[in-house]
Chain A
């Protein structure tokens, strides 16, 4: 059995090992794998942002693909039309997304739950139309495709990021850097008074108001910070995918992917959405690319599992199973496991005295 302190040390060691692995990863794998890990990171960043809103503050959004798109387009257009380097575009993209989040956050004060989900869905539907109306880039479409020269890392980037995959390694390390900064920021936010206010508003709005929390402000800020996370994720995605694009199907699907990553990883946990993103990306990749090859020896099963059209269905079934087995996500499951391991060690003396039988007067 392990003590609390031992668990903390184990946690720290695991974090250091994971970070070390992530740092050397591009040197051990090929370009495709590097970019897939970068995809995990940017989807994870957006999911972390969504989690601050949905997990901690209880506001459901299925429109985060739009904030992601705002970040992506801001970065892509600045790089493509104005010749900017990537990093300075973040200085513009982050506040822009924050402000868009504020604007969207205000109507969210009036609607809750399912209705709010619908409002944000409207955002995901509206955004591609706006880009089609106002963006005329590559080939006269709303697609912004960046050339390799535009995407090249600045000269000061150290030489150990080098060789043929230099662009891709740069994309990976930038996204990793953003993810690390934003994980730390999320920890700070969650532990701050603002973080506690988020949770208080989620759990009992009226009670939160009576103890002096400005509910409106907290909700709008939650939207704005969340949009900022999604926007930075979108900016990083431009480095990884070389394009900014918005179609209704993709914008909506991205929004759902963020939500799935949050739920699978564990709502209201800082690291959960990153784990969730890892599962979402690699599971989808495995199902659509590797599974059809692996099942080729299975005879009749190949007819079902080998069909590309089957891959979204398989993904859906696995999601259902996942939520069934781990209703509180990977992190929630790990916590329950940890609690079980440490239970016998702890004194049985309850921290909270057993509640007395309710008085019925």
Chain B
């Protein structure tokens, strides 16, 4: 019997391999462990400077009167529904280019056209890295725009910071974009997740001050940020979190949430916080209906979409959420000039897109906000544009922005989507309706956020 001998041979081979690795490796610790770049001006303000940037890169991506920008988002796979964002974005850029382009700075008479290069990452962070490297090195983009996903943007955080490429209007409401150590990233007008929770808690304080709350959260950082904020906010009130269940956010199967929701229903809680996204939302609402549970439901703003509401049928009736935008499915908004411009332009430039889909409206609005930031910049330069994004002076009437709302950023405020409307969905009407007045939480996100997430 020679087996031990054979086994030993394989082990020897591995040992040799290991030794080769050890021999080659230098055991020095790398010099700047964890070094990240540039917070200029001291004082923790969110301004950037080009002190640590590669020289002469400020106007890369500007050729004559064209500014090339890049985005990476899921256009295939489980999250392919986000492709609708691109329809809204491209429609807006086509519209503005047809007007001759964006004037930088406003009133100067110098107009630039916008060219958007899009790449598919199927929501895979590794592909986002590849895409962004290619956008920066091959396509030579001026900036990134509305790259989708929390982890996807965290994965490129160091690259954009050391290359000094603005990562503008990230499509994620995560609080990490408020981290003052990384001023080259800023979130879009999506409502930061902690503000959603606060809105719901405030609503409950009025309607049911002693409410018991059950939570279904996605088993990731997204779901956890809702849970952490909720636990923080109910402290000292008569409200109580009775049960938290987690589900697998990557599964689109209704069965992935059903047992959890059934268990939550058994608590007969008064309120149900749905910290889920995309198909997780209608699946959970349907499971809730099946269980005969009728709580006050709050659903993450990331689920506000006619398509998702429709999938939940009657179970979506009365569901609460928040949105920074007018609902394109609500006929009451059709008289609004901004809404009319949106619908006619999307029909013209992206005939296949569904103009009543809130996701298309989000893309349109985010593109409009990007153009606004460019026009606020004194010149076409990466540092100048990034600083313009960090100094939004209460901008109004951006795309489908709610008419009375303003968006503001400043030295101690890195969050844009802090003015928004609470809404409730009506199945019979087929669209959402406003609940209460416009909520203005400007400057409050950082205080509400779990510090472990904000500074990580």
Contact = CB atoms under 8 A, between A and B. Distances in A.
Interface in A115-163: 129, 132, 136, 138-143, 145-150, 152, 154-156
Contacts, number: 191
A177 B347 CA distance: 54
B2 A193 contact: yes
A152 B13 CA distance: 29
A208 to B, nearest CB: 12
B14 A243 contact: no
A288 B75 CA distance: 10
B124 interface: yes
Contacts of B32: 147, 149
Contacts of B134: 32
A125 to B, nearest CB: 9
Contacts of B80: 309
A221 B14 CA distance: 12
A212 interface: yes
B150 interface: yes
Nearest to B77: A249
Contacts of B120: 288, 308, 311
B22 interface: yes
Contacts of A148: 158-159, 162
A245 interface: yes
B435 interface: no
Contacts of B151: 139, 141, 143, 245, 247
A156 B6 contact: no
Interface stretch (A81-89, A106-114, A336-344, A345-353): A81-89
Interface stretch (B33-41, B194-202, B274-282): B33-41
B220 A141 contact: yes
Query: Which residue of A83, A95, A146, A308 has the most chain B CB atoms within 10 A of its CB atom?
Result: A308
B154 A143 contact: yes
Contacts of B248: 129, 248
A141 B154 contact: yes
A234 to B, nearest CB: 11
B456 A245 contact: no
Given A129-B219, A139-B154, A32 B138 contact: yes
A271 interface: no
30 contacts: A83-B33, A85-B30, A87-B24, A88-B22, A88-B27, A90-B21, A91-B21, A91-B22, A136-B456, A140-B453, A143-B154, A145-B154, A147-B162, A148-B159, A154-B26, A193-B2, A194-B10, A218-B3, A221-B7, A241-B130, A242-B155, A243-B126, A245-B151, A247-B151, A248-B251, A249-B78, A249-B123, A249-B250, A288-B76, A309-B83
Interface of A: 30-32, 35, 39, 80, 83-91, 94-95, 98, 129, 132, 136, 138-143, 145-150, 152, 154-156, 181, 185, 188-189, 192-194, 197, 212-214, 217-218, 221, 225, 228, 237, 241-243, 245, 247-250, 253, 288-289, 308-309, 311-312
Interface of B: 1-3, 6-7, 9-10, 13-14, 17-18, 20-22, 24-36, 75-78, 80, 83, 119-120, 122-126, 129-130, 133-134, 137-138, 150-151, 154-155, 157-159, 162, 174, 176, 219-221, 224, 248, 250-251, 452-453, 456
8 closest residue pairs by CB, A with B: A87-B25, A88-B25, A308-B75, A149-B32, A90-B21, A83-B29, A214-B3, A139-B154
